[in-house]
Amino acid sequence: MVKEQALLSTDIVPNGSMSFSVRVKRRLPDFLLSVNLKYVKLGYSYLISHGFYLFTLPAIIVALSLELGALSKQDFRQLSKDFEYDLFSVLTCSCATLFLAFLHYLSRPQPVYLVDFTCFKPAEELKCSKKAFVEHCRRIGKFNDASMDFQIKALELSGLGDETYFPPAIMKNPPVQTMKEARGEAELVMLTIIDDLLEKTNVSPKEIGVLVVNCGLFNPTPSLSAMIINHYKMRGNILSFNLGGMGCSAGIIALDLANDMLQSTGSTYGLVISTENITSSFYTGNQKSMLLPNCLFRLGGAAILLSKKRKDRRRAKYQLSHIVRTHKGADDKSFNSIYQEEDENLIKGLSLSSDLVESAADAIKTNITTLGPLVLPFSEHLLFLATLFYKKVLRRKDIKPYIPDFKLAFEHFCIHTGSKWVLEEMQKKLELTDKHMEASKMTLHRWGNTSSSSIWYELAYLESKGRIKEGDRVWQISFGSGFKCNSAVWKSLRGVKKPMRSNPWSDCIESYPTEIPDYQNVLS
């Protein structure tokens, strides 16, 4: 397999340093084409696991039809008399049927609804254009000329616009990266979005039985979840969890954990907070592998309210259909592809290795492979099997591998805003239209990479455009350190009207979509 190259490639040179190349690499991963064998194996597994229903039920129906067709009117009369006088057998069968139905009802997972969600919109004074960011980095005085050139080129290629936000501590000169300032950022983001969400849903903090907070790079003691419990004086038996160090895909992990807790306990409401802390993670050194996060990550966060109350279905926006999680941490390259460490001057930062793109492609490939059998229509399975038959059995080398059409499974796509090149490669390999990618690209342009909360800004974009209709299926896919790739699938329960408030896009949606310059234009 040809080694995949990042768009903002950081090629390791013999002396161990990193050199930046602005050239657009054309040998990018054809990861979906290598999905085929694993995909068909999972497809077979899915078909076999449902084989009893697929093959025995039709046989039973055919046998009964033939048997009933052979009976005469006299036979039917005799059967009715037998049932009429054998009351004990009828009652026994009825009770057994009711008992089995009751057991099935108790064992099946209860539906979990997304009542509503909110995304953080920072104050105008925290807005920072790309030019302002570069000037601020020069004033800090800690970046050498090579580091400044790297960040300028990375910003040009990032896909970010000029209206992203930084926390106040980072915009000071020099940046103040203390525990107090980092806590201040966390409180600003989390308490704002929770206040907004509780007001929108008319839910009391005392009603929340499950609380899950994910923040990758800032994990103080007491925890961020304890900070929320203390502020809102939540009940003493709340099940609280604080997920740290799990990267940009942790938002879906938090959803999965909250879903499991709602299913296994008597709690009815679950609150999920997804955010990242820029104050504690901003890098002020000169190691190029650690500078890229400065150019991509921006201030943001999202709060999501889940419910398993049946009466909440009437007001809920979405129902959770599937969560698929993929973890490649057993592979050393994947594990080290995003690594928090100190540089040679003991300045802490997030290091991105040259293996990142290869690790990301492998994780995405596996996740999509696993998700496919759960969401794709049966026709796609048949086409895929036919292609495999021609290639493997008939050994037809002129047959190209069949790439499943995920547009048949989803109406909307929310792909994590890692960077512009990530989104463009996902679009190309999944054969998505510009319309499908609009929410992701515009979110990156307007808000930057807000880590695990980015997929919620994308869903808010779709809602603000009035594109969510009843029955629509939404695919959220995110990837991050570990290396992990996770997917969540939602089904819309009702058409979502354009929100008049509590949507981060409300004051700017008319300006989007906007044109984002091509790489060639930027480089010229």
Q: Which residue has the tokens 């969540």?
A: 488
* SS3 call for 450: coil
Q: Give yes or no for residue 437 having a pLDDT over 80.
A: yes
Domains: count for the chain: 1
Q: What is the DSSP string of 451-498?
A: GGGHHHHHHHHHHHTT---TT-EEEEEEEETTTEEEEEEEEESSPPPP
Is 436 among the catalytic positions?
no
Quick check: 188 and 168 in contact, CB under 8 A?
A: no
| Residue span of the structural domain in which 385 resides | 10-21+28-47+111-523
Across the chain, how many H-helices and E-strands are there?
19, 15
Q: Give yes or no for residue 319 having a pLDDT over 70.
A: yes
Give the Cβ contact number of residue 3 at 10 Å. Answer: 10
Q: Which of 36, 214, 242, 449 is catalytic?
A: 449
Q: What percent of the chain has pLDDT over 70?
A: 77
Residue 312 sits in a domain whose CATH number is 3.40.47.10
* pLDDT at position 4: 35
Cis peptide bond upstream of 222, omega within 30: yes
Which DSSP helix (H) or strand (E) runs through 348? strand 348-352
Measure the CA–CA gap between 253 and 327, rounded to whole angstroms.
Answer: 11
Q: Which of 219, 327, 336, 508 is catalytic?
A: 327
Q: Which of 445, 485, 486, 503 is catalytic?
A: 445
Q: Is residue 74 part of a domain?
A: no
Q: Give yes or no for residue 182 having a pLDDT over 90.
A: yes
Poorest-confidence range of 334-343, 371-380, 452-461? 371-380
Give the Cβ contact number of residue 88 at 10 Å. Answer: 8
Q: Report phi then psi at 212, rounded to 5.
A: -125, 125
Give the 3-state secondary structure of 401-416: CCCCCHHHCCCEEEEC
- The mean pLDDT value of the chain amounts to 82
Q: Which of 414, 416, 485, 503 is catalytic?
A: 416
**Cα separations in angstroms, 9 against 334, 353, 386, 393:** 17, 9, 38, 40
Q: What is the DSSP string of 224-274?
A: HHHHHHHHHT--TT-EEEEE-S-GGGHHHHHHHHHHHHHHHSS--EEEEEE
Is 259 among the catalytic positions?
no
**If you compute the radius of gyration of the chain from its CA atoms, what whole number of angstroms results?**
27
Is 445 among the catalytic positions?
yes
Is 449 among the catalytic positions?
yes
- CA neighbor of 363 nearest in space, from 27, 35, 9: 35
Q: Is residue 53 part of a domain?
A: no
Q: Is residue 304 part of a domain?
A: yes
Q: Which of 119, 128, 215, 248 is catalytic?
A: 248
pLDDT tens digits for 413-434? 999 998 888 898 889 888 899 9
Q: Is residue 335 part of a domain?
A: yes
Is 36 among the catalytic positions?
no
Q: Is residue 97 part of a domain?
A: no
Q: Which is more confidently placed, 93 or 286?
A: 286
* SS3 call for 297: strand
Q: Which of 119, 128, 286, 412 is catalytic?
A: 412
Give residue 165's pLDDT band: very low, low, confident or very high (50, 70, 90). Answer: very high
Q: Is the dihedral of CA 452, 457, 458, 459 positive or negative?
A: positive
Q: Is residue 59 part of a domain?
A: no
Give the 3-state secondary structure of 26-49: CCCCCHHHHHHHHHHHHHHHHHHH
Give the Cβ contact number of residue 494 at 10 Å. Answer: 15
Q: Is residue 88 part of a domain?
A: no
Q: Is residue 75 part of a domain?
A: no
Q: Give yes or no for residue 267 having a pLDDT over 60.
A: yes
- CA neighbor of 274 nearest in space, from 486, 522, 89: 486
Is 412 among the catalytic positions?
yes
